Amino acid sequence: MLLAFGCAGLAGAQEPVAPAAETTVGFAGYPDAPALSVVPRQDEMRFFPCEQCHKFLETESQVRELSSPHTNELDHGEGRLWCLNCHEGEDRDYLVTLLGERIEYNDSHLVCGGCHANRHRDWYFGAHGKRADNWQGERRVYNCAHCHDPHEPALEPRAPEPMPPVRKGLARPEGGAHAPGFPWETQTDSTEEQP
Amino acid sequence: MSAGKKATGGNDVKSRSARRAFLKGIAMAGAAAAATPAWGGRTFQDAMGDFFQKHYLRMSPDEVQAAIERIQRRAQDRFGVDINVKNTPAQAGVVFGYAINISKCKGYRDCVSACVKENNLGRDSQVQYIRVLEMDQGTMNLENGDHYYAPETVPQEGKFYLPVQCMQCDDPPCVKACPVNATWMEPDGIVVVDYDWCIGCRYCMTACPYWARHFNWSEPEIPAEEINLDTHYLGNRPRPKGVVEKCHFCVQRTREGRQPACMEACPTGARVFGNLLDPDSEIRYVLENKTVFRLKEDLGTEPKFWYYTDG
């Protein structure tokens, strides 16, 4: 029984791969997913259009130190990635997928999804990422790069909003979660003054 | 069934009118005896209207409109602002559900501050509808959760963050506990409070296993320019002091298709909100495809609030 399932699973896994390799159409979204439009981001990019500079520069695929305006920090993929894995070498106004498709910056999730397929699927169906404006009606979602810097995708820790006010006359339990007592058991100045 | 219900209804009306007549008599006597206006700056009509205001569900549309106008006049007196009090009914075929991805929640508390602003909560009171618990990774004991955490940066190493707010239970114990029916579940699944009918006994607070109901001990102190003018009768309208209030899934927003304020504010996109009856909704995808859990599920309160993790 288990073997049969295993075989079926293997066969099922192999089938979709073959036509994709033949056609090289690439990924065209999940048909079952609720319709979505992506909040555009291209206009917010500081250096766009990239070709303003890059049409005068020769494409160099060599891994090397980069100078300003592009920093030398690429904290993504643990050293396995280089610019041209995601950026189109011939026309820098576009991105490129692993299949070689040319992708606009506004559709950059298609590039991310090439590796992060599980997250990409969750994002399509709404379990990952952030929806803009509403829960009903037109579904607009933010792109991957709105939240994650593609060159440094992990989010930095930051300060939280202030903690809730403590009721007057009571102090915040010292030590937080493992405090010796509840707030009403920990004495404050006002009660200590009493004889 | 219907005949029995009718008969009881008739009794209710009879006893209610008797009670009303009794209260009316007292009020009239009191008004006649008092030389100075005891209704505190408002017109006598408004004071009487407030006093005799019925339960929200038993008011006719005209009476609701009159009550709304009184609320608006009171807000004008108290804060000097013109608020808009809506009375949007529940949408047909919609039951709201909420899910939070606790792998994504980083404990920033942006949802808390957005909620305070949206729902006209006192800036200095300890009433906050959302509590974000800081918990040790690998534990699930809510009693060890700390919502007073204040490190320099979050997330802290070895901690995870669990936002808790009203679960909008489908079998809400708070509703059963209320002795005056001042709280009930709306057709879209939101448990709401008629702040004018609440007597402030706080039974619902003890009945709630999630610490989701809050008693406002003081008049909320809100700068007039920060008051949210877009309000709902059952939601974020200015509340009187001494009643119980709670998260209402931002009824003033969600019934118009907008997101609750906490979801809109969440910078990590950890919050998923939607219609549980719509099979294509995001919330349904989460429920059907993610490993979800609810808090204190063994109590049988059927919360419409789920937690899930990545993976």
Query: pLDDT at position A82, please?
Result: 87
Structure tokens at A191: 């009660």
Choose the closest CB to A173 out of B148, B152, B285.
B148
pLDDT for A177 beyond 70: no
Nearest of B280, B287, B279, B281 to residue B304 by alpha carbon: B287
- Mean pLDDT value across residues A143-157: 90
Query: Residue A88 corresponds to which amino acid?
Result: E
**Mean pLDDT of each 10-residue bin along chain B, 311 residues long:** 41 54 56 51 81 94 94 89 94 95 94 94 85 92 87 92 95 96 95 95 95 88 90 92 94 95 94 95 94 94 94 71
Average pLDDT over residues A8-27: 46
Interface of B with A in 283-302 (CB under 8 A): 283, 285-286, 289-290
Count other C-beta atoms under 10 Å from residue B298's C-beta: 7
Cα dist. B164→B49, B98, B169, B213 in Å?
Answer: 37, 11, 13, 11
Per-residue pLDDT at B220: 80
Q: How many residues does chain A have?
A: 195
Residue with tokens 């990952």: A128
Round to the nearest angstrom and report the end-to-end CA distance of chain B: 50
For residue B125 the two structure tokens come to: 């009171």
pLDDT in tens, A48-104: 888 888 888 888 888 887 877 887 678 888 888 888 889 988 888 999 998 889 999
CA distances (Å), origin B3, targets A2, B6, B9, B16, B57:
60, 5, 10, 20, 21
Which tokens is A66 given?
Answer: 């980069």
- Contact status of B266 with chain A (Cβ, < 8 Å): yes
Question: In chain A, pLDDT over 70 holds for what percent of residues?
Answer: 72
* Residue-by-residue DSSP string for B103-150: TT-----HHHHHHHHHTT--SSSS--S-EEEEEETT---GGG-BS---
The region, left, alpha or beta by phi > 0 then psi within -120 to 50, assigned to residue B212 is alpha
Number of H helices, E strands in chain A: 7, 5
Residue A56 pLDDT:
87
Q: B220 Cβ partners below 8 Å, 6+ apart?
A: B120, B121, B122, B123, B125, B127, B238, B239
More confident residue, B142 or A16: B142
pLDDT tier at A4 (50, 70, 90 boundaries)?
very low
Distinct helix (H) and strand (E) counts, chain B: 9, 12
> Which of A134, A161, A165 lies closest to B110 in CB terms?
A161
Q: Where are the domains of chain B?
A: 2-86, 88-311
Q: How confident is the model at residue A9 (pLDDT cuts 50, 70, 90)?
A: very low
- Predicted complex ipTM: 0.79
The pLDDT, as a whole number, for residue B298 is: 94
CB–CB contact A127 B147 (8 Å): no
Q: Which of B289, B234, B160, B87 is nearest to A125 (CA)?
A: B289
Q: Which residue is associated with the tokens 């298709």? A: B257
Main-chain phi, psi angles of B309, to 5 degrees: -130, 160
Nearest-CA distance A84 → chain B (Å):
29
* Integer Cα distance of B225 and B245 in angstroms: 23
- Separation in Å, CA of B227 to nearest CA in chain A: 19
Average pLDDT estimate for A163-190: 62
How far apart are alpha carbons B9 and B14 in whole angstroms?
A: 9
* Spatial separation of the C-alpha atoms in residues B82 and B84, rounded to whole Å: 7
HSE of B255 in the Cβ direction (CA atoms, 13 Å)? 22
d(CA B255, CA B272): 16
Residue B232 buriedness (CB in 10 A; 0-12 / 13-18 / 19+): buried
- Contact B199/B165 with Cβ under 8 angstroms? no
Look at domain B88-311 and name its CATH class: alpha beta
Closest Cβ–Cβ partner in A135, A166, A177 for B259: A135
Non-local CB neighbours of B79 within 8 Å, separated by 6+ positions: B222, B224, B227, B238
N residues, chain B: 311
Residue of B nearest to A179 (CA): B144
Output the six-digit token pair for B247: 């998260």
Question: Please, which pLDDT band fits residue A10 given cuts at 50, 70 and 90?
Answer: very low
- Tell me the C-alpha distance between B126 and A170, whole Å: 12
pLDDT of residue B291: 93
Centroid of chain to Cα B213: 8
- What local confidence, expressed as pLDDT, does residue B34 receive? 46
Residue with token string 């008797």 = B18
First to last CA, chain A: 78
| Alpha helix positions (H), B58-106 | 61-79
Q: Which residue among B108, B148, B275 sits closest to A164, beta carbon to beta carbon?
A: B148
DSSP state of B280: T
Would you say B134 and B108 are in contact if contact means Cβ atoms under 8 Å apart?
no
Q: Are B221 and B122 in contact (CB under 8 A)?
A: yes
The contacts of residue B19 (CB under 8 Å, 6+ apart) are none
The residue of chain B nearest to residue A143, with distances taken between CA atoms, is B269
Whether A154 contacts chain B with CB within 8 A = no
pLDDT per residue over B70-126, tens digit each? 999 988 888 889 999 999 999 999 999 999 999 999 999 999 999 999 999 988 777
| Nearest alpha-carbon partner for A155 in B163, B157, B268 | B268
pLDDT of residue B198: 95
